[in-house]
Structure 1
Amino acid sequence: MIDNSPSLLTPTSIVRRALRALANLRLAIFLLLAIALFSISGTVIEQGQSLAFYQANYPEDPALFGFLTWKVLLVLGLDRVYRTWWFLSLLVLFGSSLTACTFTRQFPALKAARRWKFYTKPRQFEKLALSAELDTGSLDSLNPLLEKKNYKIFREGNALYARKGIAGRIGPIIVHASMLLVLIGSIWGALGGFLAQEIVPSGEAFKISNIINAGPLATAQIPTDWGVKVNRFWIDYTPEGDIDQFYSDLSVIDDEGTELDRQTISVNHPLRYRGVTLYQTNWGIAGIVAQVNNSPMFRLPMAELETEGGGRFWGTWVPTKPDMSEGASLLTKDLQGTLLVYDAKGNLSGAVRTGTTTEVNGITLKVFDLIGSTGLQIKADPGIPMVYGGFGLLMIGVVMSYLSHSQIWALQVGDRFYVGGRTNRAQVAFEREVIGFLDQLKG
């Protein structure tokens, strides 16, 4: 009887039991499903938004699905799924399971596939699923047939061993290694990456400061020795007046204002510099340049108005008296240059385009320019190269895993010739191949 009492447990046995538990297939499947489930939740639930956003979209009454409120989201960390301790723990545990499986199963399987021996007794062929005893044939006649099918051949005396497709045994190891690389890249990206948003008027420079989501190690990724200048922002419109594309001419500058890089970005065409990517995601109207009668030109800011679903509008107020007791309101919905003018009583006075004048409240108002502002999403993810490399390696490993590892033994005993073989997949194709060898040997 075996005594399994705790007193007989040694560190080595404990490690072996832990490795067997980690390498369990059911555990790996459970972890993979859990990671997939929480990844879906991180895709469905908006990540990294403000408290007001979650309070507005996930109210306590009525709660989504009867339980999902903004408080539940914040407590569980569903507003930042990919950076929570429990999600990173799942990734680490799954990676540990893959590592344990690789060393306890895949490497021994590869070692066993590389280790071979000759069959020196006819009865050894009986344990093969596919074997035959012939009264014709020889090792010399079988040898060229195997070479033609790209088998690697070993001979010793009256025995022969041949194999091909050893890469099929290496494929699963590469798949595991690629998945580990993806996991490491994901963890490193979650810990060392950041996400920021900036909205900047044309002609102004800025440094990345509006960080909305960052990992605990992201400080090293946030640039402090360079900034960005928005040289110009503009929008291309379709003949129907809809937005076709919007562009930002950006310059990367150092602390002295020296240009380090320059590129025009648009949607799906970002600027990348030193591991930081700037995406074109939004736009707005920052202000207007105007003149009242013969006054100097001045710049007024424009603010986006709340329209309750009626589209985006920006507005500003222009004083028409020196004591600012009276003024006119200007409204516009795009950068095409047309503004609606309302007098002091709120009546529509007319419309004015950039470069033209209009009369309102007894004064002449001229609008010189509309100043657009670009909305940028700025992201750094140091784990991206590892993730991309892991997926590339994964495709290679999957293709290699489809290769069959086929083995053939042969033995010449007097006038009897024994042939047998086995494979780990594509059994029908292998049987046809071996039957083809036997037919040629009989012939």
Structure 2
Amino acid sequence: MENYVKQFRWSIVKILSNLSVAITLLSIILLLSLLGTIIEQDKDISFYQNTYSQQIFIPELLIWKIIILLGLNHVYSNTSFFLLLIILAISLITCTFSNQIPIFKISKTWSLVKTSKNDINLNFNSKLHYYTFQHYEYSYSYKGLIGRLAPMIVHASIVLILSGSMVGYSQGFMAQEFIPKGEFFHIQNTVNIGPLSYIPQNFNGKINNFFIEYNQNKISQYFSNISLLNDSNMILIKQSIFVNKPLAHQNITIYQTDWSLLGLRVQSSTQKTLQLFLQKINNKDIWITTIRNPTNNQEEFSLLISDLTGNIFLYNKYNKSIKYINLNMLGQLINQFTINHPIAYYNRIFKVVNLMTSTGLQIKSDPGTFLVYTGFFLLIISSICSYLSYCQVWIYRHKQYTQYKGITNRAIIYFDKEYKQIIKAL
């Protein structure tokens, strides 16, 4: 029974350490990742019903049903996807300990002597940089042993990347927030949250300012000046962020994603300030508000805004443009404007004071980022190491003749020239 268990364990190890198994697992993971990129993730069922309503194979079978059935609507959080990642990591670790490390040890054992005093007198050119070992008439030389480390570094890097992905999913979270300028905010609207995630309760932020830079009436960049505070309202960090320049503090990163207009602040002739809600039109960057006189239905007009340059367009109730004013030149234009086109709000003249803006932020925590970055760094190192050729030369000196043999794992043409130099030197 014990021998049977050992054989079963060894057969499992042989399967997991097989390169073909690892390549197959990696191909399946790549295919699922590709489908997860093509198919929109984590949407409502109605979205998939409307988007993927074509029938395939069987008339009654719809594409959206296949997507839901196979879990392709949430590929990266699917249990089967994580099982594939775990099995691939185990396969790489098994291959490293059962194949790569023994090969490296054998390669190292063959060249125990590395100091110049133990080198054989073969008159090698110093530029060849071969380590040598001699036993009577037998000689052995090698170089590029570090190239043997490349497969192990590749395996370690992939394991780190997979581990970082799983840690990020299980312990990370992402939230989307729209915060008015000048207001405080907390993490509330979480979009994705892992089963082991912890959202810090002492997180407190404030939008000090929000503004947009324009280039020829087109948006060049938009900025949010943010302060993060502790429980005692002491500022921990203050920074202006924009697209591609987030704010990073401890394990939380805040990205600039969007912006919007909330409303207008208007002031009447009695200096009373009112706030008017702005409604976005058809997902376009155009906002509108309508002002009506409840005692006179004929006194109705709309204010339309498309950006933060200060241009405000006025339309009557027949959707005909009356005029536009610029908020930045309001002090110069308001008297002339109100004389020619009186604006009645409850039969009172008013002026626009300022625009109420809000900034769209993505708040993200991913504890696995360091592991992923470390994995990719090791992957770069392994790529460099893989270009180093591992070369071996055997020499047998007989009284009447000398035999030579040399092999390399890559760069055969270069090694052939080097091999001829060695023979010539001897």
TM-score of Structure 1 vs Structure 2, range by shorter chain: 0.7 to 0.9
Deviation at 1:46, TM superposition (A): 2.5
Aligned counterpart in structure 2 of residue 302 of structure 1, from 273, 278, 282: 278
**Within the alignment, does 1:214 sit opposite 2:193 as a pair?**
yes
Aligned counterparts, 1:2-151, within 5 A: 10-50=4-44, 53-58=47-52, 60=53, 69-116=63-110, 143-145=122-124, 147-151=126-130
Distance 2:317 2:422 in 1: 99
Give 3-state SS (helix, strand or coil) of 2:232's partner. coil
Distance 1:406 1:41 in 2: 43
**Counterpart residue number, 1:193:** 172
Q: Name the aligned partner's letter for residue 202 of structure 2.
A: D
Select which of 412, 419, 426 maps to 1:434.
419
Q: State the 1:395 CA deviation.
A: 1.3
1:334 and 2:328 aligned: no
Secondary structure at the counterpart of residue 47 of structure 1: coil
Q: How does 1:269-348 map to 2 (within 5 A)?
A: 269-306=245-282, 311-320=284-293, 328-343=301-316, 348=321
Question: Is contact 1:405–1:425 with CA below 8 Å preserved after alignment?
Answer: yes
Q: Deviations over 1:48-82 (max 9, x none)?
A: 44555445534x36789996655544443323321
Matched letter for residue 359 of structure 2: T
TM-score by length of 2: 0.86
**Cα deviation per residue 1:79-113 (whole Å; 9 max; x = unaligned)?**
33211111111111111111121122111211221
Match of 1:387 in 2: 372
Q: 1:147 to 1:415 in 2, by over 3 A?
A: farther
1:411 aligns with 2:396: yes
Identity %: 36
Q: Which residue of 1 aligns with 2:357?
A: 372
Q: What is the SS of the residue equivalent to 1:277?
A: strand
Which of 301, 312, 324 aligns to 1:351? It is: 324
Q: What is the aligned partner in structure 2 of residue 176 from structure 1?
A: 155
Compare 412-421 and 176-185 and name the one that shifted more: 412-421
The DSSP-based 3-state class of the residue aligned with 2:263 is strand
* Unmatched tracts of structure 2, length 5 or more: 113-117
Task: Quote how far apart the aligned CAs of 1:424 are.
Answer: 2.6
Report the Cα distance in structure 1 between the residues aligned to 2:165 and 2:156, rounded to whole angstroms: 14
- TM-score of the superposition, structure 1-length normalised? 0.83
2:139 and 2:396 in contact (8 A); partners too: yes
RMSD: 3.0
Asked if the contact 1:288/1:371 (under 8 Å) is kept, the reply is yes
Matched position secondary structure for 1:208: coil
Return 428-437 or 185-194, whichever deviates more.
428-437
**Equivalent position of 2:244 in the other structure:** 268
Contact in 1 for aligned 2:286/2:306 (Cα 8 Å)? yes
Helix, strand or coil for the counterpart of 1:382? coil
- Counterpart residue identity of residue 360, structure 1: I
Q: How far 1:416 moved relative to its partner?
A: 3.5
- The 8 Å contact of residues 287 and 371 in structure 1, kept in 2 or not, is answered as yes
CA drift of 1:375 comes to 1.0
Q: Distance in 1 between matches of 2:120 and 2:104?
A: 30
Aligned 8 A contact 1:284 1:373 in 2? yes
Pick closer, same or farther for the CA change 1:65–1:436 going to 2, 3 Å: farther
Superposed CA offset, 1:276-331 (max 9, x none): 11111111101111013324112222221226xxx322122345458999654322
Q: Give the secondary-structure state (helix, strand or coil) at the position aligned to 1:243.
A: strand
**Contact 1:352 / 1:367 at 8 angstroms: preserved in 2?**
no
Checking the alignment, whether the CA contact within 8 Å between 1:237 and 1:245 is kept in structure 2 is yes
CA contact (8 A) 2:149 2:385 kept: yes
Cross-structure match for 1:422: 407
Q: How many residues align?
A: 408
Task: Give the 3-state SS of the residue equivalent to 1:143 in structure 2.
Answer: coil
The SS at the match of 1:178 is helix
- Asked if 1:236 corresponds to 2:209, the answer is no
Compute the displacement of 1:346 (Å): 5.7
When residues 69 and 408 of structure 1 are mapped into structure 2, their CA distance, relative to the original with a 3 A threshold, is closer
Contact 1:292/1:320, CA 8 A, preserved across alignment: no
Does structure 2 retain, via aligned residues, the 8 Å contact 1:236–1:245? yes
Shift of 1:195: 1.6
> For the residues of structure 1 that align with 2:58 and 2:234, how far apart are their CA atoms?
54
The amino acid that maps onto 2:82 is L
Cα deviation, 1:365-398, whole Å, max 9, x if unaligned, reads: 2001012111112222111111111111011112
319-328 or 367-376, larger mean C-alpha shift: 319-328
Partner of 1:122: none
- 1:195-250 deviation digits (Å, cap 9, x = unpaired): 211111111111011111121112x2x222122211111111122x1111111111
Distance 1:245 1:101, change over 3 A: same
